[in-house]
Amino acid sequence: MFDMASKEEVLKVLNELLPTKAKDIDDKNLVDKDVIDRLSSAGAFNAVSLGMRSVYEVVREASKWSPAVAHIIMSSSTVALRFKEEGHIYSICITEPGGGTDIKANLKTVAEEKGDEAIITGEKVFASNAAYADRFLVLANGPKGPTLYMVTRDPSVEVEVQDLFTFRGAGVSRVKFNSSHGIRIGTPGKGIREALETVNYERLGYGMIGLGIKEGALEEAGSKALRKVIFGKELGEFQGVRWMLADLEIRSRALDALIRDAIDKAEKGGLDPYDAAMAKLLGAEVAQKATWTAIQIMGGTGFSRGSRLEWLARDARMLDIGAGAREVLYDFIGDLAVKKYRGA
Amino acid sequence: MFDMASKEEVLKVLNELLPTKAKDIDDKNLVDKDVIDRLSSAGAFNAVSLGMRSVYEVVREASKWSPAVAHIIMSSSTVALRFKEEGHIYSICITEPGGGTDIKANLKTVAEEKGDEAIITGEKVFASNAAYADRFLVLANGPKGPTLYMVTRDPSVEVEVQDLFTFRGAGVSRVKFNSSHGIRIGTPGKGIREALETVNYERLGYGMIGLGIKEGALEEAGSKALRKVIFGKELGEFQGVRWMLADLEIRSRALDALIRDAIDKAEKGGLDPYDAAMAKLLGAEVAQKATWTAIQIMGGTGFSRGSRLEWLARDARMLDIGAGAREVLYDFIGDLAVKKYRGA
Amino acid sequence: MFDMASKEEVLKVLNELLPTKAKDIDDKNLVDKDVIDRLSSAGAFNAVSLGMRSVYEVVREASKWSPAVAHIIMSSSTVALRFKEEGHIYSICITEPGGGTDIKANLKTVAEEKGDEAIITGEKVFASNAAYADRFLVLANGPKGPTLYMVTRDPSVEVEVQDLFTFRGAGVSRVKFNSSHGIRIGTPGKGIREALETVNYERLGYGMIGLGIKEGALEEAGSKALRKVIFGKELGEFQGVRWMLADLEIRSRALDALIRDAIDKAEKGGLDPYDAAMAKLLGAEVAQKATWTAIQIMGGTGFSRGSRLEWLARDARMLDIGAGAREVLYDFIGDLAVKKYRGA
Amino acid sequence: MFDMASKEEVLKVLNELLPTKAKDIDDKNLVDKDVIDRLSSAGAFNAVSLGMRSVYEVVREASKWSPAVAHIIMSSSTVALRFKEEGHIYSICITEPGGGTDIKANLKTVAEEKGDEAIITGEKVFASNAAYADRFLVLANGPKGPTLYMVTRDPSVEVEVQDLFTFRGAGVSRVKFNSSHGIRIGTPGKGIREALETVNYERLGYGMIGLGIKEGALEEAGSKALRKVIFGKELGEFQGVRWMLADLEIRSRALDALIRDAIDKAEKGGLDPYDAAMAKLLGAEVAQKATWTAIQIMGGTGFSRGSRLEWLARDARMLDIGAGAREVLYDFIGDLAVKKYRGA
């Protein structure tokens, strides 16, 4: 499939394709097969070879133009890094129609095991990457309770892309498993915990997507509007505008340091789930504030339909929900804080 | 055209039509003629007869489902209230392609006067209501400088609806006046000041639209999600969720008091431009925070394309730009504050 | 005691005394008897004669220099307005050493009734005005449960002023009732509800104190620093500074409208507890933000010990705790919001 | 003076002394000589030997109880690290009575040079550490313009400790140099730039002080209040409280990563002034929010005068002014951001 995955090679493809393709991806809610193939050939789905750090740098860079493409790479890499296997495009199938927060209560998908193999039946929603994936990581109720399985795509797997107003083109889908064939890859009964461990990589990735969206939004608005003259002065000379930008620089610099520190720690001993949760929360803030600011800087023309700022703003909004709603992560972090500070 | 405009009659039409039509209006970026006619027959464009207070209540109510329709009524009423004339649908044509903040520097449209009449030539953007209007309030450079004119629609007026991602269906358009026939209705040379006086009514109206969007968003998310059971408890029982809602109640209650006070004052002595600016700024905050909160409460399903929350969120975003960007209004209010506090 | 209470008379005394006395009051944690007497003679404790609106205007004005004096007038007036009796200085004694939020669980003070009279024994903390009061409104466990009593000051009532860093001079005290003589003035067993009804007047008053602190802080910093020249420009000419002031003007204007509306409603039908709670919450925000901003404007000299900004900032902080912590009020408002929006 | 400075030794002294001495230091606005001597013997003023990383860890730890003591160590170490000389307690004397933001316009102190030596005459305010220092780093107008000099303490140097409500005990003083003897240690005419380079180390230090204040405040409030039972539940079990703590954890974690990254970079190639400015700004936010939250958690008892929370809150406030006001740093960062984003 590829000789040697390299960050440079992947970045070259992204920088070549995304500025011209990103609008189309958002419009059609789909990435064309040739774009997926180009990325694949460049090694974008070889997360183990690339290494965690390079994967996340790729994710950040892709997000400047297409958070959807960044999401595809990130979500697939999440599984690859967690299970040390690469070369596939993976979909993560956890949430069911009842909702994503209370996973246990909503888990209806079942796995009938036969040795290490299993027959999976059930329905998932918000399944990342499903439009492009050849492998599906599925949480299902096995004989010993919730367990992770890997399903290979075949006609028993029905995929229907969801029509969302965010991350269009990321292939987020409703997926039905009709007695689909899978292999148990997790510990029996430990599926929820293992699913969440996998999700941690996505959360860190959302932090990076947040940084990329911020860069993209400010590049876009900055290059088009900061030199515009209003009341005899360039827009970039107004103190209020400078302060708005400064605020974003401060918060994104701290987030960047947090993510790089989290990756350092992860390479030594495993990803800290608190780092991952915090990265996502701060990424959501930075991205939403940056797209808001960018539109203010652009003024009325910032509302043009089908513009880069429009889809970046829509994508930024999702960072507060996907892979763990803001509220759920505050509970998670807050529980630890209470234990730390309440004393003996 | 109508016997007697009454708030009740207009509200009846709005409540009957909007829940079923609002999505279509947003999709097509257009309000069907029969809806405009129904509103017109009910008296929605008879602002003088309705009275300022009723007009704004109608605007608020319409915004729960369709801020676009609210905008049509508000923008037309603005002109009607300011010039004490009603029964037409008015479009406000101030901004030109160079941008809306520095009006003077960008004003290229010219009016050649012949007595009280004038020939208008030029191009406007972000002209409210232009898709539906039979009268256009136009700022143009007359013999004595910027002056307001009223143009009656005829084939010399070219209207092209803009494709924005916000307030779709409000008829915001690019308008070309090709030697169009107008009547001077403002004081020669005082057009910019008079245009801004008119815009004040819009600003107050945006405050009301903000309150309406907030109501609509919380009704939508609340009725669908607050009774949902997560981790054994109704969503509405979580303290964090209650606090998010409380915050919105507090800020919208204060905004409501401010707007009602501003209307009281306006009915006695004229609309205070600071009240108007503040209403718009607070309305923008309330509306954006409410739609953000509503989507958090809905979770993943809050991202469905074409949903009520989607268009309410897109419309809410515009409140920080239209009729005076947030930054411009902060300058306006801040100048007065400095004078007040810096002492002699 | 006085001929006729008038707002003008009280304001005259306040404006004459406070600018010179406020620092001393804060330093000594006490208002001198002659100041209390001057206020009393002017009618500051005749809330029924003054009327609710004038009382709150007096409270706002006093807060520009001495929130402590404002608090004395407000807290006494609260009881006067609630029980339609005036001419005394009232102290409100509800909270006990265990804490003020969960009143019921912490209520240890007991009242032994003999007809309408009662013998009160117990200890209160954070009792407003106790240093100056001749009457104490006391919540105690009577024969039918928590009930309100009025105790007249005599040697059985021990008052020890608390050494707090906020509202110094307001006479907030630890009070011991040693078989003190009281009269039942509330409905037996309904004391907690009735105490909270009384507290509502205080909450509205805190909103006004917040507005007064804001005015005082910006007057102080503005007159001393906005004309200062930095990098060749007056400080007040910097856009960032103007925006900081604008933000305060916006929020205080809305709060002012809310409070005046709440008073209108209260004069017609009784004080709305939600209005009162919201006024306090917004007052706390405005006051804290204003004192923060004022110190930023002053720079290093804003940190001088014993300065007006110092005590205004310390007093502002308390608005988020006294008469109902921010968190408790968010619960209160949030509960109603959930009921409103969760649907049937 | 000491054998070998070690972080452990300094921390041991701090942990032993500060919990019992911190209140006294704040009360008296002075650190006793024996405490200074103990710190000195332990190596607290041997920044070069300790190394930058250890110095900042010491500063953070000291701030949990006494930001004033932390400030003494930090400010002295700033000079030591910048000029690679240690074993003295250094005072930084830059600001003059006219104000600290526009340094150039306010610089009146003059240096008359004789070879490398100089006679310094002038007056400084907000001079850090002056109560304890034996060396003063002084910005003065030399023959070639603003230049840095080092003055050794002798009777010609008059020190008067300022009575501020923040960082009491840090020895911040008004200092008069009356023909005092100094040595030129900076490049002639480059004194302002070099002074600011020195200040960068202080800014980074304020970031650490912010983290320490946060820890101290939450330790204090947490251990005293989170197990308190209200309405039948421990305070720490309330979701709203958990979220308040979570928010602080998130922001302090990111700040911690930023500071550690800044130190890594500084050890390789010099301290990045943007890192330093950002650390201070985020430290100010974290510290003020943490002390605010801690007082909310404590309720009324959080207002006791002379409590740990009180002085931590007063000290936290200063982080937005000292060593560069928030507004000045936003300008600094914003200028760079505009250059980055406005394009060619």
Domain C-terminal end among C47, C64, C87: C87
Closest CB from B222, B226, B254 relative to C255: B254
Q: With beta carbons under 8 A apart, name residues in chain D contacting B240.
A: 239-240, 243
The nearest CA of chain B is from the CA of D331 a distance in Å of: 17
Report CA Rg, chain B: 20
What is the per-residue pLDDT for B99? 86
A1 lies in a domain? no
Is C308's pLDDT higher than 70?
Answer: yes
C138 lies in a domain? yes
For residues B142 and B110, give the distance between their C-alpha atoms in angstroms, rounded to a whole number. 6
What is the per-residue pLDDT for C1? 45
Domain C-terminal end among D87, D106, D122: D87
Q: Which amino acid makes up residue C172?
A: V
Measured between CB atoms, does B274 come within 8 Å of chain D? no
Taking an 8 Å cut-off on Cβ atoms, the answer to whether B321 and A330 are in contact is no
Is A2's pLDDT higher than 60?
Answer: no
Confirm if D259 and D279 have CB atoms less than 8 A apart. Answer: yes
C1 lies in a domain? no
The sign one gets for the Cα dihedral C230, C232, C234, C238 is negative
What is the per-residue pLDDT for B206? 98
- Give B124-143 pLDDT, tens digit per residue: 999 999 999 999 999 999 99
3-state SS, residue B170: coil
Confirm if A112 and A170 have CB atoms less than 8 A apart. Answer: no
| Residues belonging to chain C | 344
Q: Is residue C4 very low, low, confident or very high in pLDDT (cuts 50, 70, 90)?
A: low
Measured between CB atoms, does C295 come within 8 Å of chain D? yes
Block residue for tokens 């024996």: D34
CA-based nearest residue to D212, from D58, D18, D22: D58
For residues A8 and A41, give the distance between their C-alpha atoms in angstroms, rounded to a whole number. 13
For chain D, what is the HEC assignment?
CCCCCCHHHHHHHHHHHHHHHHHHHHHHCCCCHHHHHHHHHHCCCCHHHHCHHHHHHHHHHHHCCCHHHHHHHHHHHHHHHHHCCCCCCEEEECCECCECCCHHHHCCCEEEEECCEEEEEEEEEEECCCCCCCEEEEEEEECCEEEEEEEECCCCEEEEECCECCCCCCCCEEEEEEEEEEEECCCCCCHHHHHHHHHHHHHHHHHHHHHHHHHHHHHHHHHHHCCCEECCEEHHHCHHHHHHHHHHHHHHHHHHHHHHHHHHHHHHHCCCHHHHHHHHHHHHHHHHHHHHHHHHHHHHHHHECCCHHHHHHHHHHHCCCCCCCHHHHHHHHHHHHHHHHCCC
Tell me what the mean pLDDT of segment C232-236 comes to: 96
Tell me: do A207 and A295 sit in the same domain: yes
Distances in Å between the Cα of A231 and the Cα atoms of A175, B96, B105, D331, D337 are: 55, 15, 8, 20, 21
Tell me: do D47 and D167 sit in the same domain: no
The nearest CA of chain B is from the CA of D244 a distance in Å of: 10
Q: What is the CA angle B78-B82-B88, rounded to 5?
A: 60
Closest CB from A241, A243, A342 relative to D227: A342
Q: With beta carbons under 8 A apart, name residues in chain D contacting C327.
A: 238, 240-241, 296
- Output helix, strand, coil percentages for chain C, rounded to the nearest 5: 55, 20, 25
Cβ neighbours of A264 (radius 10 Å): 12
What is the per-residue pLDDT for A4? 64
Q: Is residue A1 very low, low, confident or very high in pLDDT (cuts 50, 70, 90)?
A: very low
Confirm if C190 and C196 have CB atoms less than 8 A apart. Answer: no
Measured between CB atoms, does A300 come within 8 Å of chain B? yes
CATH of the domain at C288: 1.20.140.10
| Residues belonging to chain D | 344
CATH of the domain at A174: 2.40.110.10
Closest CB from B222, B253, B332 relative to C343: B222
CA-based nearest residue to D299, from C98, C70, C333, C131: C98
Q: Which amino acid makes up residue B343?
A: G
Neighbours of chain D (3+ CB pairs under 8 A): A, B, C
Tell me what the mean pLDDT of segment C89-96 comes to: 97
Q: With beta carbons under 8 A apart, name residues in chain B contacting D240.
A: 239-240, 243
Tell me: do A287 and A178 sit in the same domain: no
For B253-291, what is the HEC assignment?
HHHHHHHHHHHHHHHHHCCCHHHHHHHHHHHHHHHHHHH
Is C21's pLDDT higher than 50?
Answer: yes
3-state SS, residue C180: strand
Taking an 8 Å cut-off on Cβ atoms, the answer to whether B223 and C343 are in contact is yes
What is the per-residue pLDDT for D4? 64
Domain C-terminal end among D57, D87, D117: D87
Residue of A nearest to C237 (CA): A239
Optimal mutation site among C233, C235, C239, C296, interface A, most CBs of chain A within 10 A = C239
Tell me: do A261 and A310 sit in the same domain: yes
Taking an 8 Å cut-off on Cβ atoms, the answer to whether C166 and D303 are in contact is yes
What is the per-residue pLDDT for C344? 72
Taking an 8 Å cut-off on Cβ atoms, the answer to whether C165 and D295 are in contact is no
- Give C149-206 pLDDT, tens digit per residue: 999 999 999 999 999 999 999 999 999 999 999 999 999 999 999 999 999 999 999 9
Tell me: do C171 and C302 sit in the same domain: no
Task: Quote the strand ranges of chain A, DSSP E.
Answer: 90-93, 110-114, 117-127, 135-142, 145-152, 157-161, 173-184, 229-230, 233-234
Distances in Å between the Cα of C216 and the Cα atoms of A213, C287, C316 are: 43, 10, 11
Is B2's pLDDT higher than 70?
Answer: no
DSSP state of B136: E
Optimal mutation site among D26, D95, D230, D238, interface C, most CBs of chain C within 10 A = D230
Optimal mutation site among B285, B338, B340, interface C, most CBs of chain C within 10 A = B338
- Output helix, strand, coil percentages for chain A, rounded to the nearest 5: 55, 20, 25
How much of chain A, in percent, has pLDDT values that exceed 90? 94
Measured between CB atoms, does C51 come within 8 Å of chain B? no
Tell me what the mean pLDDT of segment C290-313 comes to: 97
Neighbours of chain C (3+ CB pairs under 8 A): A, B, D
Measured between CB atoms, does C249 come within 8 Å of chain B? yes
C136 lies in a domain? yes
Maximum Cα interatomic distance, chain C, rounded to a whole number of Å: 76
Q: With beta carbons under 8 A apart, name residues in chain C contacting B237.
A: 338
The sign one gets for the Cα dihedral B207, B209, B215, B220 is negative
Tell me: do C102 and C81 sit in the same domain: no
For residues A244 and A258, give the distance between their C-alpha atoms in angstroms, rounded to a whole number. 22
DSSP state of C170: S
Tell me: do A239 and A108 sit in the same domain: no
What is the per-residue pLDDT for B4? 64
Tell me: do A82 and A216 sit in the same domain: no
What is the per-residue pLDDT for A116? 81
Distances in Å between the Cα of A341 and the Cα atoms of A334, C253, D242, D246, D252 are: 10, 39, 11, 11, 15
Q: With beta carbons under 8 A apart, name residues in chain D contacting A223.
A: 341-343
Residue A268 CB partners (closer than 8 Å, separation 6+): none
Tell me: do B133 and B148 sit in the same domain: yes
What is the per-residue pLDDT for D1? 45
Cβ neighbours of B267 (radius 10 Å): 12
Block residue for tokens 């069907």: B32
Optimal mutation site among A165, A311, A329, interface B, most CBs of chain B within 10 A = A165
Q: With beta carbons under 8 A apart, name residues in chain D contacting C102.
A: 229-231
Q: Which amino acid makes up residue D288?
A: Q
Confirm if A251 and A289 have CB atoms less than 8 A apart. Answer: yes
Total domains in chain A come to 3
DSSP state of B196: H
- Report the Cα A73 to chain-centroid distance in Å: 8
Is B1's pLDDT higher than 50?
Answer: no
Q: With beta carbons under 8 A apart, name residues in chain A contacting B165.
A: 303-305, 310
Q: With beta carbons under 8 A apart, name residues in chain D contacting B238.
A: 239
Report phi then psi at C164, rounded to 5.
Answer: -105, 165
Q: With beta carbons under 8 A apart, name residues in chain C contacting B257.
A: 254, 257-258, 260-261
Tell me: do A179 and A251 sit in the same domain: no
Residue of C nearest to A240 (CA): C240
A184 lies in a domain? yes
Q: With beta carbons under 8 A apart, name residues in chain D contacting C305.
A: 163-165
Tell me: do B226 and B334 sit in the same domain: yes
Taking an 8 Å cut-off on Cβ atoms, the answer to whether A330 and B240 are in contact is yes
The nearest CA of chain D is from the CA of B324 a distance in Å of: 23
- Output helix, strand, coil percentages for chain B, rounded to the nearest 5: 55, 20, 25
C105 lies in a domain? yes
Measured between CB atoms, does A257 come within 8 Å of chain D? yes
Taking an 8 Å cut-off on Cβ atoms, the answer to whether A240 and C238 are in contact is no
D1 lies in a domain? no
Spans in chain D with pLDDT lower than 50: 1-2
Taking an 8 Å cut-off on Cβ atoms, the answer to whether A282 and D254 are in contact is yes
Q: With beta carbons under 8 A apart, name residues in chain A contacting B319.
A: none
Closest CB from D164, D296, D327 relative to C240: D327
Q: With beta carbons under 8 A apart, name residues in chain C contacting A239.
A: 238-240
Is A68's pLDDT higher than 90?
Answer: yes
- Report the Cα D190 to chain-centroid distance in Å: 24
Full residue range of the structural domain in which residue B205 is found: 193-342
Residues 83-142 of D with CB under 8 A from A: none
- Give A87-139 pLDDT, tens digit per residue: 899 999 999 998 888 999 999 999 999 988 999 999 999 999 999 999 999 99
Q: With beta carbons under 8 A apart, name residues in chain D contacting A227.
A: 342-343
For residues C318 and D302, give the distance between their C-alpha atoms in angstroms, rounded to a whole number. 10
B1 lies in a domain? no
Tell me: do C283 and C328 sit in the same domain: yes
